[in-house]
């Protein structure tokens, strides 16, 4: 996996850490994506849009929080083409949009921006988000102060607060948090980010950099099935208008992979929601288990529906 690390002194260490993980990617690299697009490793590992978005999230957020990524520009295009299939993306991973729309207001008037200004979003559950795009700092500041927010800092950007809620904005990044339980994502890329984590790198490569939406469910020990390091579900659009989702689960051993497969396989049986889904296990010391299925409208199989139903995530994060 070719990975370009802009920070000095880390390339060699990262290569050593990822050596065992990359062996498990055999389950991904040979797949073909929807509409004839190459899936898995193709287009990945080159520092694409997904990796760039994760590079703005501090490394310590990768354990506790679920991270949900949306390529907002692509999601807006897809939603415009097929609102029934892609209707689950209408919030674009921007938490404040739903509140403003519920109140019948204008996002640009209430927030100083709207979805057309945003390139990518990463939500950290619960209650924090980091957006990239093109933001008018003065417009965001004016919109929030008009609603009673206090401006705490200016100079290359602005920091505003409303009780425990905080928002920071620069010309190309906007971050927010709903309360003190969530750290405010930084405007500038941290010294060490989620994108530097070897487990996240491997799962990103399995999903493909060109996913338009993906959720990573965290690496905290004890959170997942025994032997499961990290799993994510990502959606990719084909050139024929179709969409497919892929679950990528990085495990630590053949036993860990077997537990993941045993948990998922019953859901692929005839009569189940995911009947006919492809379930594969890679080789090497850290096998990657993949499950892939076509998206459909109105069936709980729309892109992103697993964040609502939790059907597959619950199998891999059982109650303890």
> Secondary structure of 265-315 in the HEC alphabet?
HHHHCCCCCCCCCEEEECCCCCCEEEEEEECCCCCCCCCCCHHHHCHHHHH
Cα atoms in the Cβ-side hemisphere of radius 13 Å centred on 97: 17
pLDDT in the model for residue 40? 36
Contacts of 33 (CB under 8 A, 6+ apart): 39, 40, 42, 208, 236, 238, 244
| CA atoms of 195 and 56, how far apart (whole Å) | 8
SS (H, E, C) 89-123: HCCCCCHHHHHHHHCCCCHHHHHCCCHHHEEEEEE
pLDDT in the model for residue 216? 96
Q: Checking phi first, is residue 167 left (phi over 0); if not, alpha (psi -120 to 50) or beta?
A: beta
**Across the strands, what pairs with 68?**
123, 215
Cα atoms in the Cβ-side hemisphere of radius 13 Å centred on 305: 21
Cα separations in angstroms, 111 against 67, 129, 266 = 23, 14, 45
What does the chain come to in residues? 320
Contacts of 144 (CB under 8 A, 6+ apart): 111, 112, 160, 162, 167
Assigned token pair, 166? 């905080």
pLDDT in the model for residue 102? 72
User: Which among 196, 26, 174 has a CA at the least distance from the CA of 111?
Assistant: 174
Cα separations in angstroms, 40 against 31, 236, 256, 264, 292 = 6, 10, 21, 20, 11
pLDDT in the model for residue 125? 77
User: Which among 94, 100, 99 has a CA at the least distance from the CA of 116?
Assistant: 94
Contacts of 20 (CB under 8 A, 6+ apart): 284, 285, 286
| CA atoms of 94 and 137, how far apart (whole Å) | 17
pLDDT in the model for residue 72? 97
Block means of pLDDT (10 residues each) for the chain, 320 residues, are 35 36 42 39 56 95 86 96 92 86 85 96 89 96 95 82 94 92 89 95 97 94 92 95 96 97 97 96 97 92 93 90
Contacts of 310 (CB under 8 A, 6+ apart): none
**Where are the domains positioned within the chain?**
1-55+193-320
pLDDT in the model for residue 154? 64
pLDDT in the model for residue 263? 98
């Amino acid at each position: 996996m070719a990975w370009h690390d802009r920070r000095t002194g880390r390339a060699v260490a990262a290569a050593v850490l990822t050596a065992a993980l990359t062996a498990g990617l055999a389950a991904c690299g040979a797949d073909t994506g929807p509409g004839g697009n190459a899936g898995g490793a193709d287009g990945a590992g080159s520092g694409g849009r997904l990796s760039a978005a994760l590079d703005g999230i501090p490394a310590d957020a990768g354990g506790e929080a679920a991270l949900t990524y949306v390529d907002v520009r692509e999601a807006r295009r897809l939603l415009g083409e097929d609102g029934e299939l892609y209707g689950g993306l209408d919030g674009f991973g921007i938490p404040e949009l739903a509140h403003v729309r519920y109140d019948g207001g204008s996002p640009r008037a209430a927030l100083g921006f709207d979805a057309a200004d945003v390139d990518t979003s990463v939500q950290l559950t619960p209650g924090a988000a980091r957006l990239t795009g093109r933001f008018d700092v003065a417009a965001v500041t004016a919109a929030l102060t008009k609603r009673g927010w206090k401006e705490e800092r200016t100079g290359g950007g602005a920091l505003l607060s409303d009780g425990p809620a905080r928002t920071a904005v620069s010309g190309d990044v906007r971050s927010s948090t709903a309360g003190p339980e969530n750290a405010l994502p930084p405007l500038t890329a941290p010294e060490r980010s989620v994108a530097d984590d070897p487990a996240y790198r491997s799962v990103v490569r399995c999903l493909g950099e060109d996913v338009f939406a993906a959720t990573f469910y965290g690496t905290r020990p004890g959170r997942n099935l025994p032997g499961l390091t990290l799993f994510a579900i990502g959606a990719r659009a084909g050139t024929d208008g179709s969409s497919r989702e892929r679950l990528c689960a990085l495990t630590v051993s053949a036993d860990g992979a077997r537990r993941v497969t045993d948990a998922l396989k019953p859901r692929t049986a005839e009569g189940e929601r995911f009947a006919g889904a492809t379930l594969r296990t890679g080789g090497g010391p850290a096998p990657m288990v993949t499950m892939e299925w076509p998206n459909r409208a109105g069936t709980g199989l729309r892109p992103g529906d697993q964040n609502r139903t939790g059907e597959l995530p619950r199998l891999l994060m059982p109650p303890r």
